[in-house]
Structure formats: C-alpha cells, structure tokens
C-alpha cells in the first residue's frame, strides 16, 4: 500500500494527511491491516447507494428506515432532489427577491446549523445592514427557533418593527416571511418560536406576515403540514431517509440558499463530484474512506477529541455544523450487535487564527487525546496588503507590505508543524477557493467520512437514540407545568 500523505482530486480538492500517518499512534501497518474492513465498509455504502438500506438501521419507533443521503447530489426523478423541486426553490427565491423584506428561519439542529453555514459563507455578517441594492433585492435573513430564548425572539421582532418604522422595505408595508422547519412538525424549539413570531407579526400594524413551511408532507405526518394546507401556505418537503444532519443538501437547507441567491446547482455538483470520487474500496484512492480509517485508528488508540478548525472566519459555522454531524452519527453507546462500546469523539469547533490564541495551548501541551482537522483556502476574494501609516513606530514596520492571507497561511502551517513536531495528529482539507461548488465538496466529504467510519466501528451512523432520553424526560416535565 502506497500512502503518500496526500490525495488530490481532479477538482483540486486536497486531503493532506501527512501528519496523521507514520506516528506512534497511527502507523502504515495499522492502516494496511484495515484494508479488508475498509472494503467491507465500501460495500456497505454501495448497498446504501443502490438500495437505501443501512445495516440494522431502525427509526426511533423501531421500524426499518431507509438512508438516502447518498442520493442528494443527484437531481433526478425518484430522488430527494428532483428537477421540479430545484425549480420550485429557485422560483421561490425569485419571489423573495421581488416581494419579501425579511425572512425568519425557525429551526433547530440540522434545520438550523446547515442553513447558518450557507448564510455565513455566502451572505455574511454585513448582509442585513447593507442596502437592498447590495443584496440584489434579496431579503434580510434572521434565525430563531434554534434555542428556547425569549430575549432573542424579542430582539428580532423589535428589529423588524424598527425597519418597518423607517420604511426600509420594498413597499409601504414591511413584508415578513416566517419559515418553520421541522420534519415532525412538533419540535418544541421550532413551534415555540413560530407561535411567538406569528402572533407578534399578526398583531403588528407595521408588519405584513407570510408563512412558508418546511416539513414532512406525507398525509397526516405533521401538524405543520396540516396547518399549511388549511391556510394555503407554500410547503417544502423533508424527505424520508434524510436525517437532519444530512439535510443541508435538500429542501431544509436549500431554502436558505434560495433566499440569498446562492448557486444551488453548483453546490450539488460539488457534492456529486465528491460522491463519484469516493466510491473505491481502496484506501489509496478513496479520500473519505482513508479519512475514516485514520480517525478510526486514532480513536482506537485513545484519541477521543476532534477539533475542526477552518482558517476562514466565515467558515466558523461549518465547524458548528460538523459538531452535530460527528456527535450524533458516531457518539454511540452500543454497536450494531448490542455490545457496549461507548464509541465516538467529542467534537470541538475552532477557527484560525482566532483560536490559536484560545485553544492551541491545550492542543499543543494538553493531553494527547486530540485529532485536529484544518481547512485551508488557497485563493481568497480579498487580497489585502498592509501599509504602515505609523512610520515613526518601529513595531509597525515589520508588517509593512505583509499580505494578510499570506500571514494566515503561515499561521496554519506553523500550527500544523508545531503539532506534528510533538506527534500530535492533524490533517488538512485544502479548497482552491470558497464557493458553492467547493463548499459542497467539503461538506459531502465530511458526511461520507462519517458514514465510512460508522461502518468500520460497526455503529449505526444514522440514528440518535441518546437524544430520545432527554426528550422523554423533558416531555414529562412539561406535562406537569
């Protein structure tokens, strides 16, 4: 087996794992010994691709449940994304661009985290404060329902009314669209926020209210669906077999893409190309499978914390999205045979270079129980070179002529080298640039890596039984109020 330390795909996506291999923790021999199990993992993913069936996977009510996330990149009839569903999203986006002043997305877990990624990467912190022209007519975007937080609710409604008072909408009345996102249509955080915003917007003389619902559209499955039909609200589907942590590539995530004018086709195309590049049973050829094998071997040797650290401020929410993907998929008490294994790593979101001043002390000198995953962006939109407006101050002179992005890349390289010098495992995912295509590549690569690792560890990467424990207790306590 030839493990060169780097896999470069035709797209330009690079998986640099040189600092994950040839260490006391992860040896080439240990990875070679996994090849037969890796081949079995590839076979298991092939079954998911062809049949939508994952070994021993059941829904929370104990019945067989399909797994369809590998179908998401392919826009075709019979798949979760169809030509009609993508066309509907794009048409909805044009309506928002022309008619709506603000959208409030109401969701929690995967119905929030993926949407926040798309907003942060392609809209950003200045979206809501910029003029309508800078947004090309697309609405202001707000997120709520991701926590039970009355202060947050009130702040958003107050801001909407302020905008309406100052006539900062397209027409005389300020038009607000609420978008509750919940597969069951009963999610507490989502419904609590939706109820509050609906009531406040309805009784406000300043706001004109509209609603669109994202939920399970199967007959009788969701109270939100029934309500939407009763009120003739637009509806978008949460398809069977797509768990919340995978839904960024389907209606619950793509509706945010539509609301900011993001290139949905490019996003799915990136995921599709990554899917096609990660089907081989060979660890040398399949970067997602190799990533899974490296992390599985590290976990088996006691490394039970994983730090996800992109070197781009706008990608901080990618780390937060990945926290859910890793924690819910691999954090399992039992394997598929029912044996107690307590598998999984504790995920930590970080961002470079910010957290080099916050977390790196622990990464470098703390317990050797971590795998650090970096994301590097080769080309940035803004190429800024520093001048020195303070010639008389010596401390500033050394930064004159410094390219900011060059400094960021040096910071990443220094962090990786420092960790490796002490035998601390780290790897890099390298993207040529940040755009819809390459974000699709990265997110789908992470999904596949987690899916392959679930097969290596023989745990169900698609259920979340631990979540149901607190839900049962919480439901009982709420019923006593």
Q: What are the tens digits of pLDDT across the range 362-415?
A: 999 999 999 999 999 999 999 999 999 998 998 999 899 999 999 999 999 999
Among the listed residues 37, 32, 9, 35, the one whose alpha carbon sits nearest the alpha carbon of residue 21: 32
Mean pLDDT value across residues 436-446 = 98
| Rounded Cα gap, residues 440 and 271, in angstroms | 5
Confidence bin at 235 (pLDDT 50/70/90) = very high
Please say if the pLDDT value at position 1 is more than 80. Answer: no
The pLDDT score that the predictor gives to residue 471 is 87
Across the range 166-178, mean pLDDT stands at 93
Contact status, residue 54 vs residue 468, Cβ threshold 8 Å: no
Q: Residue 427: which H helix or E strand, with range?
A: strand 426-433
- How far apart CA 231 and CA 245 sit, in angstroms, is 29
**CA 426/CA 291 separation, integer angstroms:** 11
| Per-residue buried b or exposed e for 179-212, using 16+ beta carbons within 10 Å of the residue's own CB | bbbbbebebebbbbbbebbeebbeebebbbbbbb
Identify whether the C-beta of residue 233 lies closer than 8 Å to the C-beta of residue 98: no
Q: Is the pLDDT of residue 219 over 80?
A: no
Q: What's the chain's average pLDDT?
A: 96
Give me the sheet containing 207-211, strands edge to edge. 140-144, 102-106, 174-180, 207-211
Is the pLDDT assigned to residue 51 strictly greater than 80? yes
CA distance 164 to 175: 9
User: pLDDT tens digit string along 128-166?
Assistant: 997 788 899 999 999 999 999 999 999 999 999 999 999
Whether the CB-CB separation of 185 and 223 falls below 8 Å is answered with: yes
Assign 420 a pLDDT band (cuts: 50, 70, 90).
Answer: very high
Please compute the mean of the pLDDT values over residues 294-317 and round it to a whole number: 97
Q: Map tokens 């939407």 to a residue.
A: 228
Dist CA 208 CA 203 (whole Å):
10
**Is the distance from CB of 442 to CB of 318 less than 8 angstroms?**
yes
Tell me which of 221 and 308 has the higher pLDDT.
308
């Amino acid at each position: 087996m030839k493990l060169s330390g780097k896999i470069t795909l035709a797209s330009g996506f690079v998986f640099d794992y040189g600092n994950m291999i040839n260490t006391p923790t992860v040896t080439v021999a240990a990875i070679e010994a996994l090849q037969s199990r890796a081949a079995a993992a590839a076979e298991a993913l092939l079954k998911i691709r062809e049949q939508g069936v994952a070994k021993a996977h059941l829904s929370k009510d104990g019945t067989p449940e399909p797994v369809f996330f590998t179908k998401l990149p392919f826009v075709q009839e019979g798949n979760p994304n169809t030509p009609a569903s993508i066309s509907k999203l794009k048409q909805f986006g044009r309506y928002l661009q022309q008619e709506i002043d603000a959208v409030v997305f109401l969701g929690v877990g995967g119905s929030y985290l993926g949407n926040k990624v798309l907003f942060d990467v392609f809209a950003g912190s200045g979206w809501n404060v910029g003029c309508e022209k800078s947004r090309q007519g697309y609405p202001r975007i707000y997120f709520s329902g991701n926590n039970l937080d009355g202060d947050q609710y009130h702040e958003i409604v107050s801001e909407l009314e302020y905008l309406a008072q100052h006539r900062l909408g397209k027409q005389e009345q300020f038009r607000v669209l609420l978008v509750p996102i919940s597969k069951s249509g009963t999610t507490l955080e989502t419904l609590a926020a939706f109820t509050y915003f609906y009531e406040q917007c309805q009784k406000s003389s300043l706001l004109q209210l509209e609603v669109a619902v994202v939920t399970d559209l199967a007959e009788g499955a969701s109270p939100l669906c029934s309500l939407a039909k009763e009120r003739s609200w637009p509806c978008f589907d949460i398809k069977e077999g797509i768990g919340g942590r995978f839904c960024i590539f389907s209606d619950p995530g793509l509706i945010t893409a539509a609301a900011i004018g993001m290139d949905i086709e490019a996003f799915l195309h990136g995921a599709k190309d990554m899917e096609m590049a990660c089907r081989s049973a060979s660890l040398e050829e399949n970067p997602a499978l190799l990533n899974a094998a490296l992390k599985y071997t590290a976990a088996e040797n006691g490394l039970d914390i994983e730090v996800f650290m992109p070197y781009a401020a706008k990608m901080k929410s990618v780390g937060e999205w990945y926290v859910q993907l890793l924690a819910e998929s691999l954090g399992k008490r039992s394997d598929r045979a029912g044996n107690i294994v307590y598998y999984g790593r504790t995920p930590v979101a970080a961002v470079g270079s910010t957290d080099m001043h916050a977390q790196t002390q622990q990464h470098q000198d703390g317990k050797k129980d971590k795998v650090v995953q970096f994301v590097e962006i080769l080309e940035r939109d803004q190429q800024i070179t520093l001048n020195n407006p303070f010639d008389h101050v010596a401390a500033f002179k050394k930064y004159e002529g410094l390219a900011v992005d060059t400094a960021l890349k040096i910071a990443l390289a220094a962090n990786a080298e420092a960790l490796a010098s002490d035998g601390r495992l780290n790897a890099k995912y390298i993207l040529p640039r940040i755009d819809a295509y390459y974000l699709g590549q990265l997110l789908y690569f992470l999904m596949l890596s987690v899916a392959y690792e679930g097969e290596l560890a023989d745990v169900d990467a698609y259920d979340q039984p631990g979540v149901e424990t607190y839900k049962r207790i919480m439901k009982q306590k709420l019923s006593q109020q």
